[in-house]
Structure 1
Amino acid sequence: MEKPMEPCYEVFLSFRGPDTRHDITDILYHSLIDAGIRAYRDDEELRIGEEIGPELLQAIKQSKILIPIFSKQYAASKWCLMELVQMVECKEKWGQKIMPIFFDIEPSEVRNQTTTYGKAIQSYIDKQLYTNETIENWKAALKKVGELKGWELKERGKGEFTREVVQKVLIELKKNYLAVSDFLVEMDDHVDRIMELIGEYSAQTKIVGIHGMGGVGKTTLAKIVYNKLLSHSTKHYNLSNFLEKMDDQVDRIMEVIGERTTNSSICCSLSNIRDTKIESLQNQLISDVLGKKRQTINDINEGKRVIKDLLSSKKVILLLDDVDQKTKLDALVGMGKCWFGSGSKVIITTRNKEVLKNVELKHELTGMDFDHSLQLFSRHAFRSDHPPAEYVPLSKKAVKVCGHLPLALEIVGSFLAGKDRKFWETTLEKLEIIPDENVEEKLNISINALQPHAKEIFLDICCFFIGFDVKIVSHMWKSCGFLPDYYLDVLQQMSLIKITNCDRLWMHDLLRDIGRHFICRIGTFRPKKQSRVWDHEQANGILIEKRGTENIEAVCLKFDHQSRHFYKKEEFASLSNLRFLQVDCGDLDMKNVQHFSLTNWFQRNLSNLPKLRYLSWHKFVQHCPSTKQFQKNPLVLPNLRYLSWHEFPIFFQLTSFSLMKIVILDLSHSQITNDWEGWNHLKMAKNLKVLNLTKCSNLRKTPNVSTHENLEQLILQGCKELVQVDRSIGKLKQLVFLNLEGCSKLQRLPDEMEGLEALTELLLDMTSITKIPKWKGMKKLETLSASSCGLLSKCNLVGCSTSLLYLCLSGTRISELSIGNFGSLIELNLSRSSIRELPNLIETMKNLRVLRISGTILEKLPSTLGMLEKLEEIEAYDCRYLRGEIPSEIGRLSFLRILRLTKTGISDIPKLPESMTNLYLSHNQQMRCPDLSNLSNLRYLTLDLKYRIPSHLAPSLNWIGGLRKLESLSLCCHSLVTLPSDFNLLLKLRKLELFVNNLECLPKLPQNLSYFHFVGCGLMEKSINLSYLEKLSGLHIYNCRQLMEIQGLQHLKNLRGLRLVRLLSLAKLLDLTGLKKLQGLHIEDCPKVVEVRGQLESLDILYLNHCETLEKLPNPLTFKHIKVLMINGCWKLKEIQGLKYSENLIFLQVRDLPILEKLPDLTNANELKRLELGDCPNLIEIRGRLESLERLLIKSCGSLRKFPEPSSFKKLEKMAIAECERLEEILKSEEYRDLKKVRIPLARFEMSLDYLISAVGIIYSRWRV
């Protein structure tokens, strides 16, 4: 089937003329057109011939959404059935969405071909006018579409029904279109300006404030800058992150250099500042710094002191977003630079410039330029980058009244989408009256137009539910009589909210504030009308002062831990219409409060809240006595729908609550057990839909859930003691989500799970299950994930769900997999499993987009892979038994973007499709070098051809210069002698790695390189010039034995990492003057280098190894910021002067310096954690107070006779001395007797050299794009 052109229609309607032409079809068609949706309808009665005509075929192919309207006689039309088959084919091949309407018929009649559908099919069979294959295709199409979720008209009004369909179509179209690019503002110039102000690589502390109107993009800009700084932090000076690849060695290396406890960089981002009290913000910052919760700060001045003490010696990257008061800023950053360690960076965003009064560096962010504004507006108003010709003047006017602000353009564009010209004109006239600076009022026009229930849901989200799981809170709104599915779609379509990929509710902080201001305005003019109170202090005041009214529907409370005020019945008495109550107990302690009973409190004080539907109780009250005496009293909260109580106290009786109407119960992190009395009381919860028992660590068996027939979600994630799932689970016919992830002791799943006919998602990751049974009853299962189940060896999915989209069996023992016909599967992950061959019938997986088989023992790839037309990614690295040729059929995969075939035995690569963007190939034996000249879209290429052949047979790589989109290239080819002359034309190339031992001449490189790694022992040139690589941040050169000079090093102003290894002819003088940003310098096996020149003020790491003639080190001031200093085998080095300035030094290693006589006084090295000295036979003394030293190793320093006094070693934990005769005599004296306690044999002392060489290697390898 030919790939469709870009859609010119958006919706295709398929219908049976006599049934619906003048009914629902006509109403829907005109409603779609009126909403600005390009719809196509065709009357099947007007067609002739036996085949679908080309115009109709093209309309189906081009439409994004396909809507068959099933009526009683739909199947009686061969044309309708032909269209339906075509629609199913388009869905499976190109991903179009089918949204069926069941007009006057049940979905089961379509699915199972009963009643009129069965008769129609039988008549086709009886007349024998069509082949059996044609009829089977019709039946299959009816079955597939009948199983899809759609709309049933039933008794609903056609007007209301049509509005719902149009709304859903708009949402789907918008989602589809905006996925291309959700944010069009050109941020590059602003980012560059902020990075310049903040001094990205500077060792100075900088604080920058970004100010501008709400909705202009301040948070987006700040996050981009923060992430760039964070990226550089993790790559450059936070050493613990450099070592992430070293697994079990990490802790040991970090112990060596002390980075875990001292001088590490802290990264922290605080948002929602506008709605958070100062003390809470201080607590959050302190907790983030410590990496754990500490004693609560209750006094602002105390918080300031603690923050200053914690951060004054640390390098911090801090983002404070949407700061609304200067007092809050002062409480968090105090006196500015002096509160933070050297090199710290602080970013502040605010709408109020006055907040930044004492901030020296400021940047104002204004709106977008006109062209980008019009483009963004058009995307939301017309789902196009440009407005239609007749709407150009009005669109330009809209951009003007929106003040070029991205948020306003998005909201107003969405509000006007699909409306007629008159509506546009009226709306824009209203907006013109509003001053440009009053953004909130402009956006209010959209909010005010909401229907009552949509507005209620919007205001609930503004006040309470940002970040919540939409699937869960929707149940609460349903219980209030709202229609959340419909109204959430409305809010999305109007761009007032977004639902993230993780199903979380999100909205812009300005929209949140507008919603809250709306509530506050009502409360200001009519205090008794305020409906929601989200501020803890205001809520506390309302209750204590008894100012509550019947209009208050939602309240957030936080108990006062100082006064220990626990609200009383009369304080709740006036809140008779309360439907939402959120309580934060914090660290409330009732230890000294006599006769307090939590059970009694609930039954007394909440009995007057009959309309309460949502109760969230955060933590439990400490030292609260157990009591059961009130169990016989009337149950409280008879209308409760949502109860969330983390760390539910085991003494508290669930019987205090009425659970008759409960829909969601969340008892995560509680100590409940399988014999908990509350399970019996829970049986009355007939309407329960969500049961969350995450990390209930004492739960060994799930309760009997047979009475919860309506349960839709069961979450048991992280219940590490769980060993049994009760067989009653099979009776949950409505269960759609089951999470058993991390139940590490669970070995078996009950056979009764086959009865979970509605289940769509099953998570079994990191359990101990040994097999997945043959569950034929799970017909709707879409996600099955069982990764890292190390004991799982059997999985038979034949006959199971044909709806499966995602199947993950990575890290299992499965060697054979039978999966049947999974035509809907999108991703298959078999990595690190024991699979020996790909599943049978894999060619039927027509929708498969991602195939992961890395680390398996597969021996070949089947040619049937070429039939998977939608495949986008094949990940097959580290398949060491995979040999032979890649099937040529892969070249047919026109959507293939990513192919990973490193560390395999593949010997030949066929011509690959032009769609490729990422290609990774390597082979330790001979592999024919592929011709990749047709891959014009390639961005990342790894080509590793390690085998050696005569140079005259070396492969030609002349095609590389034509890959103009290439951003990263790693090339290993030891037989390569030259590179193409047009290599420097790869202007987008940022990262280049060349492992070419026989390369004779280094060509001119692309000038935009950020990272260059070069290994070339065959290089014949004695000098190379790199001065033109001004953007270079990482440079590594190895094994260039003839190379005497690297010209232009001093011009590489952005260089942060430099590594020169085994350059046997490198000149005597290495001039690094001007490299102000250099953070890491590694020189090894460069025997002719005599002097390293330059004042490297940003240097963190200096590693000099076996530079035998080195006599002079860089300027002593270079040592001021160094954390790790390792000097080994520099035989002519007499002194290390810079050590007296090394106040940030953490680790010092000096070995094999035969003429070194003394070290400078190390007293200033007050951060030094580890000192290793070895093979320095003339070293006489060590001076200084080493008060932070924890590890000391001295070996083969026979002349050492002066040693710091014992009182210097306040923190010494381990000391090893060997082959130091004179020092041994000193240590025998009485004054050093305390050091004997930490003395250990040399064999027990961790030898850090090998680890640190590896660590430094990893550090330098990270200075890249």
Structure 2
Amino acid sequence: MNIQGVSVSSSSSSIPRWNYDVFLSFRGEDTRRNFTSHLYRGLYQKGIKTFIDEEDLSRGEEISPALLEAIEQSRISIIIFSKNYATSTWCLDELVKILECRKSMGQMVRPVFYNVDPSEVRKQKKSFGEALAIHEVKFRNNMQRVKRWRKALKEAANLSGWHLNDGHESDFIQRIVKEILSKLNRTLLHVAKNPVGLDSHVHAMTTLLKVESNDVSMVGVHGIGGIGKTTIAKAVYNLIANQFEGCSFLANVRDISKQYGLVQLQEALLSQIFGDTNFKLVNEDRGINVIRDRLSHKKVLLVLDDVDQLGQLEKLAGCKHWFGPGSRIIITTRDQHVLDAHMVEKIYKVAELTHDDALQLLSWNAFRKSSPPRNYEELANCVVKYAKGLPLVLVVLGSFLCGRSESEWKCTICKLQRSLNKEVYEMLKVSFDGLEDHEKAIFLDIACFFSGQDKDFVTRILEGCDLYPVIGIQVLIEKSLLNIENNQLQMHDLLQLMGRDIVYLESTNEPGKRSRLWCNEDVLHVLMENTGSNTVEGIKLDFLEDEDVLLSSKAFTKMKRLRLLMFRNAHFSKGPKYLSSELRLLNWPLYPSSSMPSNFHPKKLVALNMPQSKIKQLEGLKDFGNLKYMNLSYCEYLTCIPDLSTTVHLESLILKDCKSLVEVHQSIGSLDKMVTLDLAFCSNLRSLPSNLKMTSLQRLVLKGCIRLETFPNVVGEMSRLREIHLQETAIKELPLSVEYLAGLEDIRLESCKNLKDLPRSISKLPRLRNLVLFGCSNLGKFPKLCSQSDELSSCSNVLTSSNLSKTQDFNHSTNSCIPIGFPVLHSLVLENCNLFEVDFLASLNCCSTLKSLNLSGNNFDSLPTCISKFTNLKFLRLRNCERLRQIPEFPLEFPCYVNATGCTALIENKGNNVANLLSSEVASLSLFLSLSLSLSLSKPRTNDHHLCITEVSWTI
């Protein structure tokens, strides 16, 4: 169970506010002037704030509201059962209220049996039985009240407490005071000076803990450093500690275990629970045995704060069975993997503060009130925006800015944009310091270059850098250093700033000696002054608008370890004479040279992105062994793609709008890891590889290749290909081998004016959903895709439920046709394809799947009656079918939008067609006819619950 924390306004409090440490419930006439008075004094002398009812006059039957409120506001209730306790209805009502607070608020309750035996209270014997008998007579009309008293007496008598029977009262009272003091001391942890937004977290945690359950439960509290995990744990500890037989709060487990070892933590755990400082353990294994043996029958509350290693949990709280029934273990950590590895099922992920709570917390620390002064409102909101909901950052900055002038606030805010406050930096860096070297490299790469980028793409780049990003990124997520949203890498702004500060501190004076450069000013300095060094691993120059850049021809010569090079909107006057062969990512749009440096050997290059470049040829690049992505779109001088047979890992080749590209090498057709091939608008491209055997290909785009006449032959199965875009090409036909594209879902053939025929094998594509042939004016006909059988009746059998009158003609012409084509087709577009007949519709085997049929702009004069077999058709478009005279009747269940705009012949035969449409009583049928005259034709409503339209109107 993983619960995401959501902060709410602190004004709605759910955490009890204790005004008293102890509430005393007693029978005045029995103990007020002796035992109760002495106990009260003993508590008072130890500084324990105790509520005692000083009223000594006779009381009414009803308990006062002030007394009820005092019970609710007390952390502990002590019930002093004396001989005449049950004779007082006031005392009994107090008892009921106390036990209600125990259940609803976690109040600690302890009974004192003062010269009475616990069994007398539990079983209501002797004086207690006599008193209840009298009450039953007195309250015979309200027996429910008496039943509540009996139940409360029994419940209270079963609680752990103290029994005094002819002993020394003074010693007895000292024991009580000592135990109460120990209970209070272990719960009085300092939580926060200004606990803004804390209540909702505490409420969520108590819901997870389910303290009333007798199971042993472990609950993790997970989140980024400074988000308030420890504060939440302290508040929860204070709230529920009094419900346990022993409690321990081990703070800073990470630091203490490193500095002093786990044995000291084991000793502290036992000492806190048993109140004994004499625990001396020989080693960790001995500590495990002692913890397990001493606590296995004891109900304890244990908080392990800031855990960062699984071994810490294994030595301090190895298993649930180490602890007695009802025990609760709370673990705070920045690393979720620690919780997962320890099988902690309940995890509370702490969310950032809301803007309102963040502003309030800042205001309390900076201005000592809940909101900023009017003249500081804008400045305060800037700080809140910077803090991104981290409470610790707000407290630190608020305290620093307290009492400072507006100009000092402005100066501080400007400084914070460049680097972190030192205290915040040290706090956040703790998680970074605990990473392995390759994990640190991944974190810094993301912080400097890749925050907000696609996770899969970045993973491929970092894999090429031998950084093991699959596990590394997961570790960063578990340690709250990284998030994934919509498959994008997202890093908290302050963590990103912390990472960049780490790199900045590598060389504060000379950027060229840092490992990563992302600041435009620093990058320009290094490139123009040639101050780069072997330390530089990554460079990112990113302008919002086009900028001219002067580049030293030797700028990259010293950067032998450069892995990542990224430019955007940078116009360089000339290209480099050297590029590192260590490059994994080369992102250089507008590359100014016609070729790459002759000494560039991109054996490790993973991604090459150089759109709009002046590159002419890539012949010098023989070894692209690790290349996965290549984008050379809009390279107007590129004429050909060389042999890529050694580029066996290439997954994406994007060559859009390369106007001079005439051919691509035959080797491309055999790249079996290629997923995307995009050659859109390569207007001079005349040939593709003659054969395609790209088993991983999913997307093929040839749109706008106006000189491409031939589609390659498909060799073997290419079942992963999902879409083919052939719009505006000169292709004349598709090969029969198209049937090997078994996974194809979408074929786009708009404006293929040379296309004359479609192969029958196209009907064998089992997953084809969309077939678009808009504007294929030379097509003339659509293939009939059916087999023959003398035994099968016509497809008009599908229409038997509609009782249509015109099926006989259709049966006569199609009575041996078995539909076999396009079993899952959703959309078929044949607009402006010069079709003179559409009888092929009978051969389509997509009766239940076809939703959109576009036959607009064609030359047929009638639709076959089998049109109504498409029972899920939603849109039938017949615009500008000027010869169309007949629209068949539709079955009653047929919900469809029919657009017959411009069908001028249809209106000339209006008596038959419109009447037929109306007589069919079509449900939800909309017919649009925009013609050259106005006419209104009505039909009486004979069956309103089926017939939605009884009037069809068309106007000029």
Question: Which of the five TM-score ranges fits, normalised by the shorter chain?
Answer: 0.3 to 0.5
TM superposition score normalised by structure 2:
0.45
Higher relative contact order (CA 8 A, sep 6+): 2
Structure with larger Rg: 2
